[in-house]
Chain A
């Protein structure tokens, strides 16, 4: 075995171990961030549930708001992450979006990955990238207002957080918003027509905020899992390469010994 081969195996071990350090650091960063995000997400879920509860007590039948009537062309909002290195997270969302896109006349993308993927798509209406590190209600309100200018019929593809290992892309019908049943004994301030028109925008913004946040939490878990797998793979690779290196080194020593012994034997015969 040549010295060159030994050197190349050693270089591969070194590069794999430095890569492992990077993936481990990224996993730890994702783990630290996801804890905070998940804590905030539980509060957002509580807020969204309270808003949902209010919606159930409002009768939307007299409301002419586009988000209630669903007037306009159907559009699809695709939410992905701004950064990669999170396994198949974005690819799965984009695959789901591609599959459903034929049923829609317009497309709005949130996140760099979706923007890059659909950059040349003729249905693309608006795209947003690197708008937030952590989603904000202000951004979701701005997004809601932009969508409202286009249409009142919106579906959203986001990453549903099932558990720490499973994040599934889901298509959700955001609007038209269906109201609750009419409750006679309820009072409304201001009058129901005005209240519903104002409330529906608030409801859609809150819902979008919750979906953006859920996608963010899913992304961080996907990144954590991907980086953990990468670290484990790197560890396995280092083990295999070390074995290969030791075998090569041993073969080289054996070869040298054989050469010395053969040389000595030849001298003895002479």
Chain B
């Protein structure tokens, strides 16, 4: 068994013992078994699958990094969402919201009072 900890800035998404962990790095998919050689990898935007004795757990990760020292796997990512919380409608809404935000980007910048380039010459 290998210890696994999946962290996002706002929460500890999951930690516990696992038999196997599968993830996708920027170079390709990989599986991690106990006593794997130590590795630091940059994760792609994809799923992380954790196989425990009770069953399987899936997490969607947005970027992030994975560190394995042979005994413990730590995954840190800016966004981690457990598969059971994934809702296609939420993503559709978010996509539409993002589109609208991009359209009104200029106005948003004015409203948030960004005083950028105060001294443009410097």
Contacts and interface: CB of A to CB of B under 8 A. Distances in A.
Contact of B122 (A43, A106, A199, A206): A106
Sorting the interface of chain A by its residue count into under 10, 10 to 19, 20 to 34 or 35 or more gives: 35 or more
Contact of B119 (A124, A141, A185): A124
A129 B111 CA distance: 11
B118 interface: yes
A53 interface: yes
Contacts of B41: 187-189, 195
Contact of A189 (B12, B42, B74, B119): B42
A186 B40 contact: yes
Contact of B67 (A46, A53, A115, A209): A53
Contacts of A58: 40
A198 B116 contact: no
Given A50-B76, A57-B40, A126-B117, A199 B65 contact: yes
Contacts of B122: 106, 125
Contacts of A131: 112, 114
A249 B112 CA distance: 55
Interface in A41-60: 43-44, 46-47, 50-51, 53-54, 57-58
Given A126-B117, A127-B115, A127-B118, A189 B67 contact: no
A209 B115 contact: no
Interface in B4-30: 5, 7-12, 25-27, 30
Interface string A103-144: 000100000000100000010111111110000010001000
Contacts of B40: 54, 57-58, 186-189, 195, 199
A53 B7 CA distance: 13
A57 B39 CA distance: 9
B105 interface: no
A54 B115 contact: no
B71 interface: no
Contacts, number: 97
Interface in B77-105: 78
A269 B5 CA distance: 101
Contacts of B78: 137, 141, 202
Given A57-B40, A183-B38, A187-B37, A47 B115 contact: no
B113 interface: yes
Interface residues of B, number: 33
Contacts of B8: 47
A18 interface: no
Contact of B112 (A50, A54, A130, A188): A130
Interface in A6-52: 40, 43-44, 46-47, 50-51
Interface string A193-225: 001001100100010010000000000000000
A208 B108 CA distance: 23
B38 A187 contact: yes
Contacts of A50: 5, 7, 67, 74, 76
A141 B114 CA distance: 15
Nearest to A51: B76
Interface of A: 40, 43-44, 46-47, 50-51, 53-54, 57-58, 106, 115, 122, 124-131, 137, 141, 146, 183, 185-190, 195, 198-199, 202, 206, 209
Given A47-B8, A190-B42, 10 more contacts: A44-B10, A46-B12, A47-B9, A50-B7, A50-B74, A53-B67, A126-B115, A189-B42, A190-B26, A195-B42
